[in-house]
Amino acid sequence: MILDLNITSSCLIKKDSVYLNGKKLFSYLDTASTNFLLSAYRFFEMNYPKFYKMDNLCKLGWLASEILLKESFVKDKYVPEEIGVVLLNKNSSLNTDLKFYQTINEIPSPSLFVYTLPNIVIGEICIRNNFKGETAFFIFKKFNSEFIQQYVNNLFNNNILQACICGWVEFMDDDYKAVLLLIEKDKSSISKPFTIFNINKMYH
């Protein structure tokens, strides 16, 4: 039986702005991406000292996940093994890879090396929330809503997950975008069907 899944929350971060379920919550006039991430962290009054040690890809994905889950997600409905994370991007961890490469000729930086895998952002999200379900990070040339829908549907239809964060987290130089969706079986007053049309609409 194919399940009818729902997007119960969505978070979009792009062009120095943060949106939750289509509503702009925060914007920042400074063009420096690193200043924006720190300002957003402070604006939402988050308290997670490890944030300061993360690379920019992880900061972006972690921020988006915190905002995504902030209002409507009831984590206690699930056991940790039922909640997963599936992410995509274009450039993997290249932004940090290049910074790490610049340190090789002198003293390689362990703090940068830790973040030279794209799935570390998933690890940061899971550690923060005690999620222990299926996780995966895929690299595509562009956003692929068809793949996201198919892959996540398969996880639910095979009873592997009961809730899933999925979407796109990309950070390269000062070009960044995060689009995260919370997928659940239950409906709510603001939920939308987990369709390719709705996925694309939230991305664009």
Contact 153, 147 (CB under 8 A): no
For range 191-201, the mean pLDDT: 97
Between CA 155 and CA 134 the distance in angstroms is: 8
**pTM of structure:** 0.91
**Domains observed in the chain:** 6-203 (3.40.47.10)
Q: Contact at 8 Å (CB) between 41 and 54?
A: no
Confidence (pLDDT) at 100: 47
C-alpha 183, offset from chain centre = 13
Model pLDDT, residue 189: 86
Kindly state the helix (H) or strand (E) to which residue 86 belongs, with its residue range: strand 83-89
